[in-house]
Structure 1
Amino acid sequence: MKIIKTEFNGLLIYNKNSYYDKRGYFRELYLQKHFKTSFPFDVMSYSKKNVLRGLHLQKKNSQAKLITVLSGKIFDVCVDCRKKSKTFGKQFSIVLSDKNNKSLLIPAGFAHGFYTLTDNVIMHYKCSKYRDAKSEIGLLWNDKDLNIKWPIKKLIISEKDKKNISFKDFRKMVKA
């Protein structure tokens, strides 16, 4: 397993090992020894092509997440919402897929979202804390201040995500 650092403190890309033979492949998804935090909560999602989910975070009880695509391909985005961070308000994007076998470790305090580039996307999330529905908020995916270059052709988005807040309103909320 190769670990790649980014310009964001704690935001890491994991290039994992795959073992191929005539039957298919075997992959290591998670080895606790590579992580300083534990992940007591696992979830998965299934999405059709052109689905955008996010950008989600929890104000309280923020979660670190390890994101892995088990099937398909996504354009993954995270925004640093840690008000004391040097990269506060900046975003990071990466293509994750079952083919490139990369996982993304997103530290607590980041908003996260993704856009599906293929049909039948299955994602696995390891979370450092349990879901706190009362603390959930979201940032607008198309916020002009964030200026994320999504590769959108068509768009399927939830009514909930259409009502997410601007980054400017988020800044006021956290007084940054």
Structure 2
Amino acid sequence: MNVIPTSLSNCVVIEPNVHSDRRGLFLESYHAQRFSQEAGIDLPFVQHNFSVSVRGVLRGLHFQRRQPQGKLVRVTRGEIFDVAVDIRQGSPSFAQWFGVTLSSASHRQLWVPPGFAHGFLVLSDVAEVEYKCTAYYAPEDEASIAWDDPVLQIAWPLPSGVIPILSDKDAAAPGFEWFCNEGVL
């Protein structure tokens, strides 16, 4: 596997070794020992999530306040633009974001460490996304940062003037400064 550092502290892109022949392909999407030794990911995964979304859906930017989740994200069908935002106070990359295109064709994965907000935009007609989490989903602990926050200035690959398809919760999400001012981050 190839581990590619990102501009964010502890956040990495993982390219698995893909073995393909006339029958199809095989890859290891996770191997505890290799991920620990080669990528520094040594937290246990306790929950596995799966979502299906259509083109133009933007999910995020989600995080849990007191029970942060690390997420190992991969696409099993389609293509997304996946984004991680470092919201760890004191981190050298605090308030910075990183985005990468993940697809079923590339097999790349993104490791989003605990203490990060996470979101993605669907670029294909349909995308199926799987992600392993290091903490259980806690709805009372979840929060969303506005996808178009002016402080973060995420360069989502959207045509000018196009608004993505959002959940009601994500459409009403406050900006990054609100969380900073409220002492949440």
TM-score, with length taken from structure 1:
0.96
1:68 equivalent to 2:77? Answer no
CA RMSD, aligned part only?
1.2
Helix, strand or coil: the match of 2:177?
A: helix
Whole-angstrom distance in 2 between the partners of 1:163 and 1:89: 20
User: For residues 46-97 of structure 1, what are the alpha-carbon distances to aligned partners after superposition, in whole Å with 9 as ceiling and x for unaligned?
Assistant: 0011110000000010011100111110011111100111111111111111
Structure 1 gap segments, 5+ residues each: none
Task: Kindly provide the amino acid, as one letter, of the partner of residue 65 in structure 1.
Answer: K
1:157 equivalent to 2:169? Answer no
Q: Which residue of 1 aligns with 2:46?
A: 40
Q: Which residue of 1 aligns with 2:28?
A: 28
Equivalent of 1:128 in 105, 126, 134: 134
TM-score, with length taken from structure 2:
0.91
Whole-angstrom distance in 1 between the partners of 2:42 and 2:70: 11
Helix, strand or coil: the match of 1:174?
A: coil
Q: Do the aligned partners of 2:60 and 2:144 also contact (CA within 8 Å) in 1?
A: yes
Helix, strand or coil: the match of 2:182?
A: helix
Percent of matched pairs sharing the same residue:
36
Change (3 A) 1:175 1:43: closer
Helix, strand or coil: the match of 1:160?
A: helix
1:112 equivalent to 2:129? Answer no
Structure 2 gap segments, 5+ residues each: 36-40
Q: Which residue of 1 aligns with 2:109?
A: 103
Q: Do the aligned partners of 1:40 and 1:126 also contact (CA within 8 Å) in 2?
A: yes
Whole-angstrom distance in 1 between the partners of 2:133 and 2:182: 24
Q: Which residue of 1 aligns with 2:97?
A: 91
Extract structure 1 runs of 4+ deviating beyond 4 A. Answer: none
Q: Which residue of 2 aligns with 1:3?
A: 3
After TM superposition, list the pairs within 5 Å mapping 1:137-148 onto structure 2: 137-148=143-154
Q: Which residue of 1 aligns with 2:38?
A: none
Task: Kindly provide the amino acid, as one letter, of the partner of residue 69 in structure 1.
Answer: V
